[in-house]
DNA sequence: TCAAACAAACCGTCTGGTCGGTACAGAAAG
DNA sequence: CTTTCTGTACCGACCAGACGGTTTGTTTGA
């Protein structure tokens, strides 16, 4: 794959991600993606022969980004649970790492993709299932799951814009979750 | 409005709710709703002149059901936070009340409707915003919000079917959330 | 008998996908 | 060096089906 081709592909994935985050799945049409990326629909379908191929590529890129960040957080000494919490707020806690440019809100937005296609959704589901399985092996599985659910619920409410609390409260919530995650990791 | 008309309307709302919960928003088409309800599309559009009208009616019915259940729970002596938690599990905690037939998983499924239409979504959002505003006035707003987010995240993961834990763990999670909600209500 | 409650064919738009063609960079041939 | 050829990247008109909604006609119950 040439460099030029790869650049265009990334542009298309960026455009699709942008649309799904800011305008929702229902706006994720091939025409819209092509237009946003500054490419013709023909050009889009040259690189991704179907809408599903485009969505699959989107999910795979996100997965890869997340796995890399999660691994790097664990290498910094954070336990599995705390690393997971920090995964959700990394770009806000460490703005200097904005280069990594991962926002887990993407994941929530991407979850809505599950509504559209079942085929590839199952693959992602399987990965998430195995990932969350380890959360049931910690010192306090109940608390661990509460932390996980709280983060997901928070991101969801953020994505849909319902009942969003002021920033200070959000930061306090994250802080407390990190605290508890740290305790759980220590006990485990 | 005659009785016959109302029966059909409820059948249509039931069908739409069923589809959105079991097959997702993208399958919520007028043809599908009509077919599921055993009515022709013409019949559907006789009662609900547009898809948005149908969705609005769906949301309004759900809101009403929830408000009634929430009020009844508070009348039984539960504080606002604990009542909210029990709202999420009422049908499972009290199967004998299955007549009420409210499952808050519906709400999560309905959230995906936000992706489709912004118009009526805002109305619902406003109601949710004012509802959740009181959660920031409790003795421990941080913990209260964690409880709320955890419940929403749990229902969401249930709806999308990602990383769903075994039943016992789920019950333990709910139990602990009820415990904490109770404490918060007592302190408030 | 009359209006409410449907049924069914039909229409316009949107959308995923196809297809023939173009621009261009480099290799091969002369 | 010029010409020809080839494959990659891309464009844009077009198509078929799906979907929301309209219209017209039919049944049903008071």
List, for residues B42-88, the tens digit of each pLDDT value.
999 999 999 989 988 988 888 888 888 889 889 999 999 999 998 88
Q: Nearest nt (C1') to B28 (CA)?
A: D19
Looking at residue A49, what is its pLDDT?
93
A43 CA vs C29 C1’ separation (Å): 32
Looking at residue A100, what is its pLDDT?
43
Round the average pLDDT of chain B to a whole number and report it: 85
Q: Which of the listed ranges A2-11, B24-33, B138-147 does the model predict with the highest average pLDDT?
A: B138-147
Chain A contact present for B24, CB below 8 A: yes
Cβ pair A129:B156 closer than 8 A: no
Instruction: Determine the average pLDDT of the residues in A18-28.
Output: 85
Residue A38, classed as helix, strand or coil, is coil
Q: What percent of chain A has pLDDT over 90?
A: 44
Chain A positions touching B55 (Cβ under 8 A) are none
Instruction: Give the helix ranges, DSSP H, for chain B.
Output: 3-22, 30-37, 41-47, 51-75, 80-93, 105-111, 118-133, 141-160, 167-187
Q: How far is B103 from B89, CA to CA, in rounded Å?
A: 8
Of residues B25, B26, B173, nearest to A146 (C-beta) = B173
Residue B146's nearest CA partner among A85, A98, A131, A96 is A85
Q: Nearest nt (C1') to B42 (CA)?
A: C7
* Strand D nucleotides within a 7 Å radius of protein CB atoms: 8-14, 18-25, 29
Is nucleic acid strand D under 7 Å from B52's C-beta? yes
Cβ pair B173:A149 closer than 8 A: yes
List, for residues A108-119, the tens digit of each pLDDT value.
667 777 766 666
Q: How far is B77 from B72, CA to CA, in rounded Å?
A: 9
Architecture of domain A1-49: Orthogonal Bundle (1.10)
Looking at residue B115, what is its pLDDT?
66
Is nucleic acid strand D under 7 Å from B31's C-beta? yes
Q: How far is B70 from B90, CA to CA, in rounded Å?
A: 10
B2 CA vs C4 C1’ separation (Å): 9
Tokens of A15: 């455009």
Q: What percent of chain B has pLDDT over 90?
A: 45
Looking at residue B99, what is its pLDDT?
40
- Enclosing H/E stretch for A74: helix A51-75
Q: How far is B5 from B14, CA to CA, in rounded Å?
A: 14
Higher pLDDT, B70 or B184: B184
Q: Which of A63, A145, A176 to mutate to test the interface with B (most CBs of B within 10 A)?
A: A145
Instruction: Determine the average pLDDT of the residues in A35-48.
Output: 94
Confidence band of A26 (pLDDT split at 50, 70, 90): confident
**pLDDT beyond 60 at B95:** no
Cβ pair B151:A156 closer than 8 A: no
Round the average pLDDT of chain A to a whole number and report it: 84
Which residue in chain A is spatially nearest to B141 when comparing CA positions? A169
Residue extent(s) of CATH 1.10.10.60 domains in chain B: 1-49
The CA radius of gyration of chain A, in Å to the nearest whole number, is 18
The CA radius of gyration of chain B, in Å to the nearest whole number, is 18
Cβ within 8 Å of A, B 26-85:
26
Chain A contact present for B21, CB below 8 A: no
Q: How far is A23 from B27, CA to CA, in rounded Å?
A: 19
Looking at residue B98, what is its pLDDT?
44
**pLDDT beyond 60 at B144:** yes
**pLDDT beyond 80 at B110:** no
């Amino acid at each position: 794959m040439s460099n030029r081709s790869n650049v265009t592909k990334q542009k298309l994935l960026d455009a699709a991600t942008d649309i799904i985050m800011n305008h929702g799945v229902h706006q994720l049409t091939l025409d819209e993606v092509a237009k946003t990326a500054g490419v013709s629909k023909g050009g889009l379908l040259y690189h991704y022969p179907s809408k599903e191929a485009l969505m699959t590529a989107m999910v795979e890129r996100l997965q890869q980004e997340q796995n890399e960040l999660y691994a790097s957080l664990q290498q910094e000494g954070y336990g599995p649970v705390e690393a997971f919490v920090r995964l959700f707020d990394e770009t806000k806690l460490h703005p200097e790492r904005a280069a990594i440019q991962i926002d887990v809100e993407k994941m929530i937005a991407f979850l809505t993709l599950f509504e559209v296609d079942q085929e590839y959704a199952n693959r992602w589901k399987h990965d998430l299932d195995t990932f969350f399985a380890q959360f049931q092996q910690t010192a306090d599985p109940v608390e661990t799951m509460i932390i996980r659910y709280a983060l997901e619920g928070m991101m969801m409410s953020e994505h849909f814009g319902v009942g969003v609390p002021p920033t200070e409260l959000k930061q306090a919530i994250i802080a407390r979750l990190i605290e508890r995650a740290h305790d759980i990791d220590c006990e485990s």
